[in-house]
Amino acid sequence: MIKTLSSLQLSKVTRPISWGEMDLFGHLNNVHYFRYLEDARIAFLDQLNFFDNKLYCVILKNECEYKCSVEYPDQLTTISYVTRVGNTSFCMLYEVFSEQQDTVVAIGKSVIVIVDPETMQKREIPAQFRDHLLKYMKEFQYEQYA
């Protein structure tokens, strides 16, 4: 049974970058962007009570387009959008915003597939969760796709 949501909020996660995330060239190492995307995705799924409902998913595709480099110190805010909802999967887009530069420094995209935890076979997105995804997608449209 999917728990109901009281209200939708734009899902965003803000955290400072750490010195240890820098690479030899003095900017945020590319692997850490994927951790920021993961933080945002988990916060989003948490907001929708995904884990409380024992749903299981895998990432089919994960990509990141780097707009400009990020240097320490900085604080990044990652905002999550839903851009497509299918029968067994949904797509998310993430904007990574730099406080220091006052601009979007990366755009991430993920395809998330709902699977059976025992067989790892695709399964349909439960109707109530699908409804929440669609409601979120309509409420918080990414400007590029609106």
* CATH number of the domain within which 43 lies: 3.10.129.10
pLDDT, tens only, 5-58: 557 899 999 999 999 999 999 999 999 999 999 999 999 999 988 988 888 999
For 40-74, strand residue ranges (E) read 57-66
Number of structural domains in the chain = 1
Within-domain flag for 3: no
Within-domain flag for 115: yes
φ and ψ of 132, to 5 deg: -65, -40
Look up tokens 């990044």; give the residue. 76
Q: SS3 of 12, please?
A: strand
Within-domain flag for 145: no
> Do residues 98 and 74 touch, judged by C-beta distance below 8 A?
yes
Within-domain flag for 5: no
pLDDT, tens only, 68-110: 999 999 999 999 999 999 999 999 999 999 999 999 999 999 9
pTM over 0.75: yes
From 114, 111, 107, 28, select the one nearest 62 (Cα to Cα): 111
Residue 62 belongs to what domain range? 12-139
d(CA 117, CA 60): 15
